Structure formats: C-alpha cells, structure tokens
Chains A and B, each alone.
Chain A
C-alpha cells in the first residue's frame, strides 16, 4: 500500500473515530415536576399534595375532575412519580414517606425517615429512592439522605449531609446533589458508595458571587456589597443530568441604611447589581458534569453598570427580576422549578410574588429577552395563586400545572403567541383540590406573611415578605447589618409571638402594634395594616409549631441537661417558664460597642431582649450577631460566665446541657 492509500485509510479511521467519538457520561433524573404537584407517566392523572389537609388529590387531566383523594401523612409537601407510576409523598409533619400505587388510590405503605423529610429523587433506573430529612432523628445539627430500594422499600443507607438539607436530585454519573437550605451550599453524594464525595465542602457559590470583594474585612461599608445565598429550596436538573439550577435568595451582608418609608423603607434597594431589595430572588447554575461546579455572576462587580456582565455567558442571570419594561411585577421567594423536556426553558415558581418566571436555561441574550436593557433574561412572568409550591409539565410540553397551596387550587399555564413575542399565560381555568382547613383569620394571616406584592405589607419598590427572611416562619441563618448593629434573623415558629413582648433583639417595641408599624412601614415600606389585619398576621405567626428535633426528652442526657439548665448552670434564671424567656434584658457579653457597625441604641444600656429557646436546636447560628455557629460552641465558650454559669460544669455536663437545648 503506498503512502497515498495509507493516508486514505488513516483518514477514514480518524473520521470514523470522530463519528463515534461521543462519550456517554450517563444521565441524571430529570423530572417534569417539582414540589407539591406531579403527573402520571402518561399525563392521564395529575397529583397534588395539599399540606393543610394531609391528602393527595388525583385529578383526571382530560376532564379536570378530582377522581380520588388519598389520605397520607401530616403535612405532605412534595410528590414524586416513578417510571413505574408509583407515587412517593414526603410527609414533613410526621417524618415519613407515603408510597401509593397508581389506580389503587390508597396509601400502600409508609416509610419512616428522619425529621421533616422534604426532598425526593429517584435514580434513572427507578431502583433507588432518595429522601432528604431536615434533621437526623437524634441530632438536629445535621440532616440526612436516606436511600431506599424501590423494589423492597428497605433502606440501603442513611448518611449525614449537613445542616438543614432540603432538595435532592440525581445527576449524571450516579451521583446526587443535596441543597443545604439555610447555608446556601450544595453537597455531592456518590450513590454507588453511599457516601459524600471526597472533598465535599464549600462549593464556592458564595465566593463566585462575591468575587470582586477585596478582602473580607473591607466588605463592610466598602463599595463592594456582598451577598450570601440562602433558602435553596429546590434543585432543578436538566434532562441530560449535566446541569442543575438552584433557586436562592441573595441576602445582603453589607450595611442596611435607614431609608424613609416613602423611599421603600430600610429593606428597599440594596440588592445585588441594583436588582431587588436587601433580599433578592436568584438562580444559581451548577455544572455537574464532573463535579459540582457553580456558575454564578459576580454580584459585587456590577454596581457601576447596574447589570450583570457577560452577555455571552451560557447560563441565566444569577438574579431573578422581571423583564417587564419599567419594573413590572417583582419576583420573590423562588421555591421550586422544572426544566422543559428539551432542556431549553427553565420555569421557576416564586411563592412570595405568586408568579412563575420562564427563562432560557442556556443563554441570557436573544431576540426574546431584554437582557441588554434590563439585565434580566426572564422572558415570561405569569401570575398564579397564593402559596404556589409545585409545578408539573406535560410530556408534550404544552401545559404547566401549578399548585397554589394557600388557595388549594391547580392552575394551568399555556403558551400564547409564536416567535420572540410568545408568552406564557394562565388560562384561568383553575381546579379546586381541597377546602381550607385553617380559620379565615389564620388563612388571611398566612397570606400576609408570604405576600411580597401586597402594598400594605411592602412597598412596590421593595417587594419583600415576612417569609423572605423568616423562611417558613423560622429564620434564614443570616446576620443583617442593621443601623443599630448586627442582628441575626430570629426564628418565629414555636416561640409564641403574642406572649413574648417586647420585640426585636433590642426589645425596643413593647407591643405588637408598635412593632408591626415599625417593621411593616419603616422597614418594608408598606402602607400598613389595619388592626384587624395585623391581628390575623400575628395570630398566624403565634400558632406556628416549633421546628421538630426528634430528640428524646426522656433520654438520660437530656434529663441530666435539664437539671443543669435549671440549677447548676443557672440558664433558667432568664430562659424561664414554658416559653423559656423572662422577656427581660441581659448583657451576655456579646455587646459590641466599638467595632464596625457597633451595637447602639437601647441595647447599649440594657442588653439584649432574652429570646425564647424553643426550637433553638434548629435555629443556628446563635446570639444576636450569629457569632456562635453551634450550641456546643455556645456552651463551651462562655468566658467569665457572662451567659450562664458554665465554668463549673464538666465537659460531660456541658454536653448534657447541649443535649437538653437541642431537645427543646
């Protein structure tokens, strides 16, 4: 064979290799649904989990009629349908997962998992069910990921995955990604080994979002405002399993100024890239092909331009904002989302703004977006009902169903128009799933708490809800640099608001009337509530259940810790009674009167308002400035016995004391 023929053979072989050169990286599990609503594999049935009623409703999609109602565990929050049409329901209120088989319309069995299960995922082969629980059964410091064999429904492994895990999804390469709700981090799990991937720790979302800050110490008051991702409620995976989107709330870390109510209040503006308020909706893109690799705009570098840089980036803008010229509707409280079956469009359900944002999943520019002029790539924003926390897409990609939990109704979204001007619209034909179980007063209070668009609560230029920071009535783990000093968001749930005046860490509000007036009008920029409406809001907050911990109150360590709490450690001197507060003030050695953003005002004279300790085990970090990240740290670091008398305790006694605190 001469050289010419040989070269032809080599060329042909090279071409052949190129033809077959695609490497299969495996796949993830892309579901067409997320949150409280899902479709059967053939789209014949639509399932909706109603949290208040503890049911799953079955809707015939052809007739829009409710054909069955399945009683499941308490507070079902998330549904998942397997490829064999088995329905899994995470019952957050009683630490279980219901298993339902299609057409039987009854609960086949109930799997026991950790505390407050929220996340569900199936592997692509439908053989393994993954469940995240917010806390381990005997330790609220971390949550768990539990794997079940779907054939036997027996647990395969259960591993700790960090504090307050929320969503889980399976990505390419037989791996899972878990979101840590408050910390704004992601955890990668090797499913074959049933273990965290080596080296899993901070995956850099924060660093990428704040890349331009010069040094940590220069952030406060400098031109570089920094933002922390919070409230990672969902993980939305693309059909190829190579990309995940994580809805977040960007919480400002820099100073919050006193702005008059007429200008939107303290919380107005100050968002990343001049988008939104001090707490702003966002979306983090994560490349999962080889490792969890976030793709995030540098939110600290765009204040001069007002927009995120990088029109050529192949991922959505990291802040979520309306593309409507002139402002339009706000986006707040991104909760769940899906990617359409072609991997082209990302749908994000925003609970606090009661809308669904539709945006391209792999670009931010184009004839159909206004990125160049508005800095956002949201193409459509469509209104839905109150408390929306679930979305499901049909197989043919023509409909999206959204469940509005507070309205107990399913709404249907469809396309309108063609080409670049096509939009997604609500067809207005909602389906009632269940009736309200809350009293009208509580139901109204809940709506107020979660509503960022109600101008009584928040100005049109601020658009924050109580729930934007008090996530689900609890807290976001964030420390805000308020004008009177740093203040960690206090948990509200389980702390009996009506019985724990005065209010705020400073305790400057002796009653709820003055507290509401200040917070709603001065901070959130709202026009204010009537007495009746404020009463509804306060009453709803007051009845919120405490965050469960699963600790056994009768365990010897807890019993010993309780005795120490009440006697030797003298904690009960201030944290006393059923509500674990004397509603007075104390200086526990955390006052900062000199450094950056020093504490000022009433606290400088009287100390801080003693908070209730109910649910303290799941409300890290601790103290007014969040300076203690764990209860162990809080108890073991108590120089001078300024905060309880712990110097006389042995290490074992201190651990007993911590166990008791975690059980509250």
Chain B
C-alpha cells in the first residue's frame, strides 16, 4: 500500500477512535459522582492567611463572635443534611480563552491527529500568558514553539482572548522528498506564525466543561521551496503559505486544576502543493499542578 494510502487509513482510523473516546469521556464527567463531594472541603478548615491584617481595634467595632468555620462530621446529624460545599472552579485553561493569572502555570499534553502537542504556559500578567511548546507530527515533523495569549474580555462564564503562536519546524525529510507527508497534511513549513482569536464559555457549575472555539490564521514561511515540476521555474527563496486553522472542543475539569481536553476541527490550506483541507482531532490533559 502506498505511503499516502496508509496515511489516509491511519487518519480515518485515528479520527474515528478519538471521536469515540471523546464522546465516551465527556458524559463521564457529567454523570459520575465526584468523590470530592463526600469529603469536607479543605478550604473551610484552612485558617485565615497569616498576613491578613486584623482590624484596628481602635477604629473598628469589636469583632463579632466568630462561629466555627468547620463543624466536625460527628456533630452533623446526617451527611445528607450537610450544607453543600462550594467547589473551587477550574480556571486552568490552555486551550480556552481565560488567562491563567499572574505567575500561575499550566501545561498540556495532547495526542491527536495530525499533531502531538506538549505546552507549558505561565501567566506573566493577570491577563497575559506566555509559554513554550513542542508539536510533533509523530517524529516526521518536530516543531518547538512559543506562544502568548492575552485575555481581552470576559468573566467567569465566558472569555475572549487573542493568541499568537510561532514555531520553527524541523522535518526529517526534505520538501522535495516528501510525498503527502507532514507538510502536505499540516500546511506547516520551516517557520510558522499563527495569530488567532479564542472564545470560550463555561457553565456556572465548578466542574462544567469549558467549551472553546479557536480560529487562527497560519502563516507558513517555506524556506526550502522546490520546483514541483522540472523546468517550470525556480520558486523564490521564500514562499508563504496562507492557511486557516479552526478548532473547537472542551476542557472538561477533572479537578480544580486538571482537565480532560477533547477537541476537533480542520485546517484549510492555501498552497496548491498541500491538502486542501485536513481534519484534526485531539485528546489530552490540561493541568495546573
């Protein structure tokens, strides 16, 4: 079987398998009981921070008698009567629009088609995340990346961000050698720049999935263009590829800082040498741990 045919079979199987996994994983987060519901929330038993400035006794009326913040379980007549604990919402987003917050870190590992992706972000400002990443077409193309995301607007339920990613791709085959390889599939070339807009929203439930939509313009800088046909002219030393990358998906919280990521989408490639459009799917984890 030719390489491109094998690749197409691999793609279709991968896409199907990941779609099934994604479909199977998402309901589990909404129907299965979370074990944390049966545990006392640690936050309620945590004493106030040590550096909290107490009220000035000279200017502030005497503090009211403080009620115990945590009542031991044995004092409760029945668990079912216990006040429902409010969980801390998951705000660690790598694929959605919300920023991590200053000096907070997030990372993700995603397996998918066409790329395997590893990313680490840190919030340098409340609304600005920067980070590094590594994308790979499973060894055939390896692309270290840098990325930045700035949250333009939003609140606890929605957010809008502008993002920018840049990477340099290393291919294990020269362009002239490839036949429906990573360049054809991804539209990526030696240098890649992808500005985009990310919108996401999240339900009020602390473990509600964060649904995101990501639209990017991928500008691919080809520094090794070749003559696809003999004597049809030498291309300029730099050829630009204009592509559109569309992704949607969900970060489905597993805990306050960890989410399952499930995404899909497609690329539209502008160069005649590349595939016209290519589906994409991804599964992975996002964590702020």
Contact = CB atoms under 8 A, between A and B. Distances in A.
Interface of A: 4-5, 7-8, 11-12, 14-15, 18-19, 21, 311-312, 314, 340-345, 347, 358, 360-363, 365-368, 372, 379-380, 395-400, 413-415, 417-419, 422, 424
A18 B103 CA distance: 25
Contacts of B120: 7-8, 11
Interface in B209-242: 225-235
B177 A397 contact: no
B131 A8 contact: yes
A18 B226 CA distance: 24
A238 to B, nearest CB: 10
B231 A419 contact: no
B8 to A, nearest CB: 14
A345 B3 contact: no
Contacts of B227: 340, 342, 344-345, 397
A592 to B, nearest CB: 49
B174 A362 contact: yes
A417 B229 CA distance: 9
Given A343-B176, A397-B231, 18 more contacts: A4-B105, A8-B105, A12-B132, A19-B168, A311-B2, A340-B230, A342-B234, A344-B176, A345-B227, A345-B231, A361-B176, A366-B179, A398-B231, A398-B232, A415-B231, A418-B232, A422-B232, A424-B230
A399 B234 contact: no
B195 interface: no
Contact of B229 (A19, A312, A347, A415): A415
A471 B119 CA distance: 62
Contact of A8 (B2, B122, B173): B122
A380 B232 CA distance: 13
B127 to A, nearest CB: 18
B169 to A, nearest CB: 10
A392 to B, nearest CB: 12
Nearest to A358: B230
Interface in B65-116: 103, 105
A396 B232 contact: no
A379 B231 CA distance: 12
B189 interface: no
Interface of B: 2-3, 103, 105, 120, 122, 131-132, 134, 144-146, 168, 170, 173-174, 176-177, 179, 225-235
Nearest to A2: B103
A30 to B, nearest CB: 13
B132 A362 contact: no
A21 B168 CA distance: 11
Given A4-B122, A8-B120, A365-B2, A418 B229 contact: yes
B234 A397 contact: yes
A199 to B, nearest CB: 29
Contacts of B134: 15
Nearest to A240: B174
A314 B170 CA distance: 18
A342 B132 contact: no
B229 A363 contact: no
A15 B169 CA distance: 11
B244 to A, nearest CB: 24
Q: Which 8 A-B pairs have the closest CB atoms?
A: A397-B234, A415-B231, A362-B177, A422-B229, A344-B176, A342-B226, A344-B226, A345-B230
Most chain A beta-carbon neighbours within 10 Å: one of B170, B173, B231 = B231
A1 to B, nearest CB: 11
A396 B231 CA distance: 9
Given A18-B168, A396-B234, A424-B230, A314 B173 contact: yes
